Structure 1
Amino acid sequence: MQIERLDNIQHDLEDTAAHLDALSRMLRGHALYLRHSRLADNSADIAFIERHLSGLDLSISDLRGVARNIAKVA
C-alpha cells in the first residue's frame, strides 16, 4: 500500500474520531441538560444516552489507536 494512501486513511480516521468526539461532548451536554430539566421524567433518555456514550468513547479510542499505528508505519 502506498504511503500517501496510508496518510489519507490516517487523516480520515483522525477526522472521524474528532467528529465523534464532538458528538460525544454534545450528547454529554444534552444528558446534563436533561438531568437538570424539571419538565418531565427524563431518566430513560439519560440512561439511553449514557449507555451509548461508553460505546462511542471506545470507538473514538479505537479510531485514534489505529491512526497512531498507521503513523508509526507511514
Structure 2
Amino acid sequence: MDRQGDLQDLQGPTVAQILAAIEASSPAVQVKIEAIALDVNLLRSDVCKVLKRSVAIERHVSDLHEEMRTLKATVVAIET
C-alpha cells in the first residue's frame, strides 16, 4: 500500500463517501440512520442545556464565595 492509501485509511471515509453509502443502503437502514441522527441531535441539545446550567451554577458559586468573603471581612471588622 502506498502512503496516500495509508493516509486515507487513517482519515476514514469522506462525507461524500458516507452520504453515497447511506443513499445506496436499504430504506430500513436509512430510517435507522435518521433515528440515530435525531437521537444525536437530542443528546446535543441536552448537553447544551447541561453546559448552560453548569455555567449558571459556577456563577452562583462565585457569587456565594464573594458574599462569604464580604461576611468574613465584616466579622473581622466587628471583632477588632
TM-score of the superposed pair, with normalisation by structure 2: 0.46
Q: Which has the higher contact order (CA 8 A, sep 6+)?
A: 1
TM-score of the superposed pair, with normalisation by structure 1: 0.50
